Amino acid sequence: MSDFAKSLDIVSFTTYNREESNNRQDKDMFQIIVDSAANIPAELVKQYNIKVLSFVNYVNGEKLVCFDPELTYEEERAKGKIYYDAMRNGADVKTSLISTGDFEAAFRKVMEAGEDVLYFSLSKNISGNYNSARIAMEELMENPPLGRKVRIIDALNASLAQGILAIYASEMRDRGMEIDEVYDILKTYPAKMNGVFTVGDLKYLAKTGRLSGSAAFVGNILNIKPILRGNKDGFIVQFKKCRGRKAALNALVSLVCDNIVDPENQIIGIAHADAYEDSLYVMEEIKKRVKLRGFINTSYDYCTGSHVGPDTIALFFMAKDRELGA
């Protein structure tokens, strides 16, 4: 791969002083936490001082921790290929939730260290994770360790829709903002943070009940590629249908370029389930039409990726609302 192609994956978005960043652990008064569905690459997790609680999958009965904090971008992509190749070959994949007990233990540890907690959750309408975290928060706040607090923001979406919000929170924290200031601003963002995606094989949507088996079978034969999105309530819904993969990719590009607001201050997220070349195509097409702050391009988290399947590609960006002209 050329140095240029590599640079598309590794983008620095920071605007604060690097020396301040290196010392920020000393002055942080709140910790940002996400679950691994937030899809933040491990190198950015370290850069932005974000804590990740990992989902656990089981592949043919073997335990797989979905997030590895030590992987490089290239290693994450290579591991993603192995995972999605296993799905293509019919692997039995089971996903699981993060328990209330695990949330409580993670939140308590931060609070006992003298910091507040700001957690960005996967949509409550596609996962039970939010409810587990909410129960943990309520139990802790009955007698909060060291008087600290927990704030939860439901991203009403998945993947980098969560992750980008967490990165914005980190930047606000670095500017000296307190947790409630950050919370009050970012809790309004899910109403504008869009996620749009297309899949490679409709059978995975049929497995989740979002499409009937017969419709998936016929759609695959006719090369129908749906565009799906997270609606304003955090449910996954079908937006439109395209004939062929290239038409679907171009439709995603147009949805971003026609609806994005303030692009020069935005990070666009791209998550792909072993569809790296397609992700590069989408990036280049968007760059031809709008000037952006930057991209995050990463392999799709295994937990949510298991429900949409190999070759899925998803884009995440801020618009004026979640309707996208619907």
Tens digit of each residue's pLDDT (9 = 90 or more) over 39-57: 999 999 999 999 999 999 9
Q: Which residues pair with 62 in a beta bridge?
A: 59
pLDDT attached to residue 134: 97
Quick one: which of 100, 115, 105, 104 has its CA closest to 49? 115
Domain boundaries for CATH 3.40.50.10440 within the chain: 14-56+97-190
Quote the percentage of the chain above a pLDDT of 90.
Answer: 75
Alpha carbon separation from 211 to 174, 206, 222, 245 (Å, rounded): 44, 4, 15, 18
On the question of pLDDT at 187 being above 80, the answer is yes
Quote the tokens at residue 260.
């994005």
Kind and range of the H or E run holding 65: strand 62-65
Architecture of the domain defined by 191-318? 2-Layer Sandwich (3.30)
Tens digit of each residue's pLDDT (9 = 90 or more) over 52-110: 999 999 999 999 999 999 999 999 999 999 999 999 999 999 999 999 999 999 999 99
Residues 6+ apart with CB under 8 A from 205: 199, 211, 216, 226, 228, 308, 309
* Cα separation of the two ends of the chain: 39
Q: Under a CB-based contact definition with an 8 Å cutoff, are residues 310 and 88 in contact?
A: yes
Alpha carbon separation from 321 to 67, 188, 206 (Å, rounded): 31, 11, 28
Q: Which residues pair with 152 in a beta bridge?
A: 119
Question: CA-CA-CA-CA torsion for 183, 185, 189, 190, nearest 10 degrees?
Answer: 30
Domain boundaries for CATH 3.30.1180.10 within the chain: 191-318
pTM above 0.85, yes or no: yes
Fold of 14-56+97-190: Rossmann fold (3.40.50)
Q: Is 86 exposed, middle or buried (0-12, 13-18, 19+ CB in 10 A)?
A: middle
CB crowding 279-304: b at 16 or more within 10 Å, else e: bbbbbebbeeebebeebbbbbbbbbb
Mean pLDDT over residues 141-165, rounded?
A: 95
